[in-house]
Amino acid sequence: MERIERHACFGGWQEVWQHKSESLDCTVNFAVYLPPAAAEKKCPVLYWLSGLTCNEQNFITKANAQRYAAEHGVIIVAPDTSPRGDDVANDDAYDLGQGAGFYVNATQQPWAPHYRMYDYIRDELPALIEQHFPATDARAISGHSMGGHGALVLALKNPGRYRSVSAFAPIVAPSQVPWGEKAFAAYLGDDRDTWLEYDAVVLIAKAQEKLPLLVDQGLADNFLEEQLRTGLLEDACSKAGYPATIRYQEGYDHSYYFIASFIEEHIAHHAAALQG
């Protein structure tokens, strides 16, 4: 691994690292915020998954999360959203290919050799973090939009791996909305039954554990009705008896202004579970 950025931030350090990923078969970046407490002891880790078109930079430069991570003694890890490189398959559209990995393991060509973000986030990245940084194995996961979808799916499919989950404006039912239908058809093929393994609304019904779950959705989000459909998650949680806190925020859109406005509460949500 090679550290390519380091900035003093709220008494800790915001770093960006680069490494060759075995899961993705390419060189990738990830960001790590180390709070002041990490200089003295191992700290729990919150994994943040970003949305379409983003990389590791969006969250660390726009969300103001470091301030609250410093207060709570939580490490934040923000990976890229897809494999990258000249040899990695891509598409001209913003919602497929590089910057749009959807946190699945692709099975179709030309995507399958590199697009294994699910394995990378679940297995490879935490192993690196816990080996090379002052991190405990207490993990939480959160994300925005496509990353909110990824956070929900990873938490629901892997009981015992995370202590809490949250999301901002997540794609809750990708098998039922245009973004997900396009990506899943490309990455997973035409068999829609295989898509359901990455659909939070479906997974809620058979969840083996009930993690603390917090979701914020802006009511001025122009993607709400067609792509996000938060109400489907609300209905699924109600039917399954899953104790979710799903909040609708008047006037807020899909941007990082929205995330920055509520990130303090999300980090407190995770800190309570990680340190409780």
Average pLDDT of the chain, as a whole number: 98
- Asked whether the beta carbons of 102 and 153 are under 8 A apart, the reply is no
Distance of alpha carbon 144 from alpha carbon 161, whole angstroms: 20
- pLDDT, tens only, 96-119: 999 999 999 999 999 999 999 999
Would you state the pLDDT for residue 221? 98
Would you state the pLDDT for residue 24? 98
Domain extent at residue 105: 2-275
Gyration radius from the chain CA atoms? 17
In this prediction the pTM is: 0.98
67 class by beta-carbon count within 10 Å (0-12 exposed, 13-18 middle, 19+ buried): middle
Our answer to whether residue 254 is catalytic in this structure is yes
Distance of alpha carbon 97 from alpha carbon 259, whole angstroms: 25
Q: How confident is the model at residue 247 (pLDDT cuts 50, 70, 90)?
A: very high
Q: How confident is the model at residue 224 (pLDDT cuts 50, 70, 90)?
A: very high
122 class by beta-carbon count within 10 Å (0-12 exposed, 13-18 middle, 19+ buried): buried
Q: How confident is the model at residue 276 (pLDDT cuts 50, 70, 90)?
A: confident
140 class by beta-carbon count within 10 Å (0-12 exposed, 13-18 middle, 19+ buried): buried
The single residue of 221, 261, 269, 270 carrying the catalytic annotation is 221
Q: Which residues, at least 6 apart from 235, have a Cβ–Cβ distance to it below 8 Å?
A: none
Number of structural domains found in the chain: 1
- pLDDT, tens only, 18-41: 999 999 999 999 999 999 999 999
- pLDDT, tens only, 132-161: 999 999 999 999 999 999 999 999 999 999
- pLDDT, tens only, 48-59: 999 999 999 999
Hey, how many other C-beta atoms are within 10 angstroms of the C-beta on 221? 21
Our answer to whether residue 144 is catalytic in this structure is no
Q: What is the CATH number of the domain that holds 41?
A: 3.40.50.1820
Would you state the pLDDT for residue 16? 98
The single residue of 21, 145, 164, 175 carrying the catalytic annotation is 145
The single residue of 149, 254, 266, 269 carrying the catalytic annotation is 254
Would you state the pLDDT for residue 50? 98
Question: Among 82, 65, 26, 112, which residue's Cα sits nearest to residue 268?
Answer: 65
The CA-atom distances, in angstroms, between 76 and each of 69, 72, 98, 271 are 7, 11, 23, 11
Residue whose token pair is 């946190």 = 103
Amino acid (one-letter) located at 154: L
- pLDDT, tens only, 173-220: 999 999 999 999 999 999 999 999 999 999 999 999 999 999 999 999
Q: How far is CA 174 from the centre of its chain?
A: 15
Percentage of the chain beyond pLDDT 70 is 100
Would you state the pLDDT for residue 11? 98
Phi, psi torsion values for 147, nearest 5 degrees: -70, -30
Would you state the pLDDT for residue 108? 98
Our answer to whether residue 145 is catalytic in this structure is yes
What region, left, alpha or beta, does residue 103 occupy, with left being phi > 0 and alpha being psi -120 to 50 degrees? left
Q: Strands of 165-168's sheet, edge to edge? A: 2-9, 12-21, 26-34, 75-79, 43-49, 135-143, 165-168, 213-218, 244-249
